[in-house]
Amino acid sequence: MIDAFEFADELGPLKTIHVHEPSVGLRAVLVVDNVALGPSIGGVRMAVDVTTEECIRLARAMTLKNAAAGLPHGGGKAVLYGDPKMPKQDKEQLIRALANALRYTEDYIFAPDMGTDEECMSWVQDEIGRVVALPREIGGIPLDEIGATGWGLSHVADVAREYCDLELNNARFVVQGFGAVGMHTARFLTDMGAVLVGAADSRGAIHNPDGLDVVRLCEIKAAGGALGEYVDATPLERDAVIDIECDIWIPAARPDVIHEKNAQRLKTKLVIEGANIPITPGAEALLAERGILCVPDFIANAGGVICAAMEYHGASEGTVLQAIKEKLRRNTRQVLEEATRRNISPREASVDLALARVKKAMSYRRYSLFSTAPGFV
């Protein structure tokens, strides 16, 4: 028998909801982790192999991310079982059904994640209205289109490289997961003078030590193609992207891609965690022992949720991009300075920063994890 409270601690999760509607093939999980800072924001992740445990871990990452970014929102996450490349009408039916199933779960605000996008959020908007990251045509700030997460990651890299004696100009970097986040990260970093030497998508990896043409790679992906179609590079198996020697390695895909069994293969100076929970705690410890600096996920990739939260509160696109730059540069420097001063890992320093904000908010409440105030959202 599954213990429903196996993952419970002082922070949450507040609630875990399993949604099942067989008439449309809907199976999903929502985890609202902590709402002490405000209603939770977290993306809807769609994949065939998502799990409740993954959803719980991702929701906690959102609690820490939103707190560290100084947002008035808690953390939540939804996972939707299904192939994100299914026919559009089938995907739309599932997402509209999920929105209706969660219509009255007002402490969760929908957002896009892996396998969903701004168009998916427009369907949620049409059904229940409690959503962020909408298409520009209906008043949103399309975070994937403007590259909000990648914009933030590029600035995190620019600050973090100071702590590993690295110049960003001509720095060689690798992106594992060349989707919305990975493409924009590559674009912004090359604009800063760095050189993309390796990349991977779901169908394989490519490598050219002299550099890859990021514009051409983005054109291939925008047309629905695979990185393997790029001709001026050596094709590799997907997981061989771990072995490419570089200065900066950026995981921007699924959880736990670096773990205790493959961490020793990384040949880099700096890891910027573009995905959520892409490296296991044990692997992070092994990398630290080797002198590889890791900037944790909920510090590094907060650009997307900062954009989403500011859209929700009526900000403009220009204001959003400036806020992402300022917040993430400040947080990265604060975390790395604190880690150096206390001789602890960047993750420990990051968690301390986020927990202090969450626990302070919890102390103001009668019930630490939820509010009984009317109109909470």
Strand segments, DSSP code E, in the chain are 15-21, 26-34, 40-47, 75-81, 108-112, 172-176, 195-201, 204-207, 234-236, 248-251, 270-272, 293-295
Amino acid at position 234, single letter: T
Residue 283 in tokens: 């692997």
**Alpha carbon of residue 184 to chain centroid:** 13
325 labelled catalytic: no
Beta-bridge mates of residue 80: 28, 46
Angle at 79 between CA 76 and CA 84, to 5 degrees: 135
Helices and strands, number each (H, E), in the chain: 12, 12
CA-CA distances (angstroms) from residue 137 to 184, 255, 290, 322, 371?
A: 21, 32, 48, 22, 34
Phi, psi of 59 (to 5 degrees): -65, -40
Given strand 75-81, what is the order of strands in its sheet? 15-21, 26-34, 75-81, 40-47, 108-112
Catalytic residue among 15, 65, 77, 261: 77
Give first-to-last CA distance, the chain, whole Å. Answer: 35
Known catalytic residues are 77
